[in-house]
Amino acid sequence: MDTFVKAKARPEIFNLKPYVAGKPIEEVKRELGIDDIIKLASNENPLGPSPMAVGAIQEMLNNIHFYPDSNNFDLKKAIAKLTKHDEKGLIIGNGSDEIIKLIAETFLNSGDEVITATPTFSEYEFAATIMGAKTVKIPTNDFKHDLEAMKAAINEHTKMIYICNPNNPTGTIVTENDLDRFMDEIPADILVVFDEAYYEYVNSAQYTSGKKYLDLNKKVIVLRTFSKIYGLAGLRVGYGLTNPIIAAAIARVMEPFNVNLLAQIGARAAIDDVEHLTESQKMNLAGKEFLYQEFKKLGLDYVETEANFIFLNTNKDCQEV
H/E stretch holding 305: none
CA distance 161 to 173: 16
pLDDT at 321: 63
What is the spatial distance between Cα 253 and Cα 248, in angstroms, rounded to a whole number?
A: 10
256-307 pLDDT tens trace? 999 999 999 999 999 999 999 999 999 999 999 999 999 999 999 999 999 9
pLDDT in tens, the chain (321 residues): 578 888 888 888 888 877 777 777 788 778 877 877 777 778 999 999 999 999 999 999 999 999 999 999 999 999 999 999 999 999 999 999 999 999 999 999 999 999 999 999 999 999 999 999 999 999 999 999 999 999 999 999 999 999 999 999 999 999 999 999 999 999 999 999 999 999 999 999 999 999 999 999 999 999 999 999 999 999 999 999 999 999 999 999 999 999 999 999 999 999 999 999 999 999 999 999 999 999 999 999 999 999 999 999 988 887 676
Task: Supply the pLDDT for residue 275.
Answer: 98
pLDDT at 1: 58
| In contact, 215 and 228? CB cutoff 8 Å | no
Q: Give burial (CB, 10 Å; 0-12/13-18/19+) of 87.
A: middle
| Beta pairing class for 113-118 and 134-139 | parallel
Its pTM stands at 0.94
Q: Does the structural domain 51-272 have CATH classification 3.30.450.20?
A: no
CB atoms within 10 A of CB 42: 13
Handedness of CA 41, 292, 163, 15 (dihedral sign): negative
How far apart, in whole angstroms, are the C-alpha atoms of residue 155 and residue 187? 10
